[in-house]
Amino acid sequence: MSVNNRYSTTAIIFHWLMAILIFVALAMGLYMVDLRISPDKLKLYAWHKWIGVTVFVLAAFRLWWRLYQPPPPPPAMPHWQLVAANVTHYFFYALFFLIPISGWLFSSAKGFQTVYLGIIPLPDLIDKNDEIAPIIKSVHMYAGYLLGGLLALHTAAALKHQFMDKDGLMQRMNPLQRRK
């Protein structure tokens, strides 16, 4: 695969670092909500928030990088697949911001300050408000489900390109492949 068809090393690092963090945050979110209140549950919520803030910051840098360093041209594929890939990526970026912000808003509305890494207190985005908190919680939750679904679609599409189309698409983001 040509160097011109691969993502930059920086883009690959952003992709895989965010993929790991988002997978952990989604799994943690699904697990922790059904736990009874306990010190362990509060610890999981803190870690979930830390991951969310980290994803938000990485998404900002990733978006800046993508504007500065556009992605390589995709391999030849049907037009509808290009459109689907582009729409999916726009949704990804929107959700990379919406989910952390809605989580932060929900914490603020419930009166729980976010303290990043346990040492950096972040300001509440809104005052405590038990009336709006359930709405924000729903936005956060359903946006998370949407992200999970899009990640499954994204993974399935990548695997289709790798094993059915055999078009080398996955090599563009392979962190183990050296750039020539």
Of 152, 148, 150, 143, the C-alpha closest to 24 is: 148
DSSP 8: P
SS3 11: helix
Q: What is the DSSP letter of 170?
A: G
Count of Cβ atoms closer than 10 Å to residue 12 Cβ:
18
Domain residue ranges in the chain:
3-173
Any idea what DSSP says for residue 74? P
Q: Name the pTM for this structure.
A: 0.93
Segment 145-172, tens digit of pLDDT? 999 999 999 999 999 999 999 988 899 9
CATH superfamily for domain 3-173: Transmembrane di-heme cytochromes, Chain C (1.20.950.20)
- Predicted pLDDT of residue 75: 85
- For range 78-93, the mean pLDDT: 96
Confidence (pLDDT) at 5: 85
Mean pLDDT of the region 81-98? 97
Q: Could you tell me the two tokens for 26?
A: 């989604």
**Would you say residue 49 has pLDDT above 80?**
yes
The answer to whether the beta carbons of residues 56 and 97 sit under 8 Å apart is yes
User: What is the end-to-end Cα distance of the chain in Å, rounded?
Assistant: 9
Q: In the block, which residue shows the tokens 């698409």?
A: 169
